[in-house]
Amino acid sequence: MGAVILGTGSCLPDRVLSNHDLEEIVETSDEWIRTRTGINTRRIAGKGEETYRLATVAAQRAMEMAGVIAEEIDLIIVATISSHMLMPSCACFVQKELGAVKAFAYDINAACSGFLFGIDIVDKYLRSDREKKILLIGAETLSSRTNWEDRNTCILFGDGAGAVVMEYRDEARGVVASNLCSDGNLWSLLCMHNAPSSNPDLSLADHPGTHILMEGREVFKYAVKAMEGAIVDLLSREKVDLDSIGLMIPHQANIRILNKLVSRLGIPPEKVFINVQKYGNTSAASIPIALDEANREGKLKADEFILVCSFGGGFTWGATLVRW
């Protein structure tokens, strides 16, 4: 049938930052954060936990589960918006760390939707070259791009990485289809600027800094409607009933977005995997981390449909259906 996930892995930094810890940093409260976002704690990277290092450990765990060694990997794709360097890519650092000598490697940027968009890329690679083994990773250290004085945003994000090893299998499972969308007109509602330009003609008169900027209410509104639309369209196109979904794994943005999405779709809440309370919003890493946790907890059942959806800066959003 298509691209099958052979193994999953994840890696979270050791340091836990609680809502109470945040009360010491900005004017906020545990109660406000919990009721508005559903987040209790998030992980924050420390020394030696750069994005590529978290990505490498997540990849090693996924390869171990898949029974695949680094030398067998043909391609490494990392979805990230917070690599420690702009060039080389995070994926090249992962290739070096793993010793994946045969692999070519590059990053993709679709913000929080990066991993979902990556699944579609991998699916297409594998359909045209069935011999390949591909490592797809979502990895972020957004703590390095967070404005720790802005209580509107600094409470939301966390660091981590998740990975999958994928291969083509002539079996009735794997990626079924994706429905991916973008709207660049809405870029300014959720964005992160580059370092100031050294070309005066291209520099902004008022550079806002290199951290995440967000219009929270607008993001909220679009996120719910956009993911709902992408899911409904995908399921109707594929003639798959919502009742036949075994588990939905959404991007872990915040609990209110997820609750609203779940109630609009009418999917039973027990069929939705949620871990945002532990890790906050880890952007491109959130789906593969959740996928790995669900997998290791035995929540992904052979032959069942897994529905994955995301929304992020761009705007970018979409839904993907996988038969496990």
Enumerate binding residues for ligand ACO (CB under 6 A): 28, 32-33, 36-37, 112, 151-152, 155-156, 190, 214, 216-217, 219-220, 223, 251, 253-254, 256-257, 281, 311-312
| Shortest Å, Cβ 312 to ligand ACO | 5
- Joined together, the tokens standing for residue 131 give 């011999």
The radius of gyration of the chain from alpha carbons, rounded to an integer in Å, stands at 19
Task: Indicate the residue among 141 and 281 with the shorter CB distance to ligand ACO.
Answer: 281
**The one catalytic residue among 251, 254, 295, 309:** 251
Place of tokens 């981390």: 289
What does DSSP assign to residue 188? G
Task: Indicate the residue among 63 and 230 with the shorter CB distance to ligand ACO.
Answer: 230
What does DSSP assign to residue 196? P
| Shortest Å, Cβ 232 to ligand ACO | 18
Residue 44 buriedness (CB in 10 A; 0-12 / 13-18 / 19+)? buried
**The one catalytic residue among 11, 112, 154, 309:** 112
Residue 181 appears among annotated catalytic residues: no
| Shortest Å, Cβ 165 to ligand ACO | 25
CB atoms within 10 A of CB 172: 9
Task: Indicate the residue among 37 and 95 with the shorter CB distance to ligand ACO.
Answer: 37
CA distance 65 to 198: 46
Residue 207 appears among annotated catalytic residues: no
Residue 199 buriedness (CB in 10 A; 0-12 / 13-18 / 19+)? exposed
Residue 281 appears among annotated catalytic residues: yes
Task: Indicate the residue among 45 and 190 with the shorter CB distance to ligand ACO.
Answer: 190
Catalytic residues: 112, 251, 281
